[in-house]
Chain A
Amino acid sequence: MPHAEPAVAVRGVSRRFGHRWVLRNVSMDVAPGEAVLLVGGNGAGKTTLLRVVSGLLRPNKGEVALGGTVGMVAHHTMMYDALTAHENLTFFASLHGLRIRARIGELLERMGLAHVANERIGTFSRGMLQRLAIARALMPEPRVLLLDEPLTGLDDAASRTVIGVLDTLEEQGVAMMIATHQLVELVGTAARVGYMVSGKLAALEQCGGEAGQVVERYRELVAGE
């Protein structure tokens, strides 16, 4: 670990919905500037883990400690279709207590959305919405960024844009947890991969950007389950 103090510390976290345990005793740390991929089949607990880390869900057991502000990009945009891109970001900036119009412009520019800033997001493509969702998540300059399937529905160009943004954030010291099924595309961004099986973290290993090795381990740990 490059830093002594983790940006995310997950300690013995379990979460159930009704009688079904969706997370079972998950523990992991993420260092500042480190990206960890979370991979696993559907229902393995990846999304629930991200929601618990974000604070949207409370764990039934265990605890989560964060080293700073958290931002989250999920399956849904978490924004309002009837508002424009600029209005959506202005609204979330207000809730963060920010009054920085320049920052909204800078984020829209960075995500390649400046030209559609005043259009309602209900008309946006999936790729544009995903980039806007990242802009929303980056609004409070988070130290921890949680991404749930950030490349789903994106074409190659949009995927490259998003991966480029994630690489930059990593260099800037932002800790990231990325739940994905697209591990080949994202493995170059991540330092470690967490393999989740039936709510448990089956393994958390260095990946060194080697897609072949990760895919092999995925088959061994997840697909073979």
Chain B
Amino acid sequence: MSWLPVSSAATLQAIIAIASKDLLVEQRTKTAFFSSLVFAILVLTVLYFARDKTSVGDLDLAPGALWVTFTFAGMLGLNRAFVLERENRAMDGVRLTPATPTAIFLGKVVGSLVFVGTVELVSLPVFILFYDVPIWRELPILILVIALATMGFVSVGTLFASMVVRTRFSEVMLPVLMLPFLFPPVVAAVQLTRGILAHRPLSEYSGWLSLLAAFVIIFSTFSLFLFEAILEE
């Protein structure tokens, strides 16, 4: 296999085909989506009822609750993206086509972005409902932060999911391997969310935004280039 692009049109066609196939399989089985959604709602609910409202305010708990929910719910979806390739060794069939590792990686990332994004989209109203946070005015910047963090999370997660899928306990291995790498973007996303929900000026948390953007760029590139080696047995 080669990193040289066959052609941009062929690469784009392969990316769309892989992402569409992943989403079609998920739409047929629905297992991962409902698992992730139920998990997300459960975590938000448990954290809401577990706190003492007199000592922990909404704004203190909400950013952490949001990102714990998104991070772990997303992991369920990332694992699914490669488990379906393990069945019948379908990834071998994909590798026998002219699709480049770049196209395969980006196809997987796009499919997982749609999946994780949908879970986030559905659980966000539950978060708003429970935590009574003044979100509407700040919604565009909050969505930008969520999109950025999700992009970084999915890129790194796609790489690690492709690594652990051949192991017997991939569902357990994925969080164990991924979480140390997710520490910087999740902390940055929590700090940014805290600043946004507290209506702080952007200048106060722009450092976290830079850290998050740097993580996304560096780790997405890193994951893209490592993916070919992972595809090889």
Contacts and interface: CB of A to CB of B under 8 A. Distances in A.
A143 to B, nearest CB: 14
B54 interface: no
Q: Chain A interface: which size bin?
A: 20 to 34
B95 interface: yes
Nearest to A95: B97
A92 B97 CA distance: 8
Given A94-B13, A96-B98, A74 B92 contact: yes
Given A82-B29, A94-B14, A95-B17, A55 B87 contact: no
Determine chain B's interface SS by DSSP, over half rule: helix
Nearest to A71: B96
Contacts of B25: 80, 82-83
Interface residues of B, number: 28
A224 interface: no
A55 B232 contact: no
Contacts of A27: none
A163 B89 CA distance: 24
Contacts of A83: 21, 24-25, 28
A57 B94 CA distance: 14
A56 interface: yes
Contacts of B232: 57-58
Contacts of A58: 232
A72 B96 contact: yes
Interface in A55-101: 55-58, 70-72, 74, 76-83, 87, 91-92, 94-97
5 contacts: A74-B89, A80-B88, A87-B21, A96-B98, A97-B10
- For the complex of A and B, 6 pairs with smallest distance between CB atoms: A78-B93, A94-B17, A95-B97, A76-B89, A82-B28, A95-B99
Given A94-B13, A95-B18, 7 more contacts: A72-B92, A72-B96, A76-B89, A77-B88, A81-B88, A82-B25, A83-B21
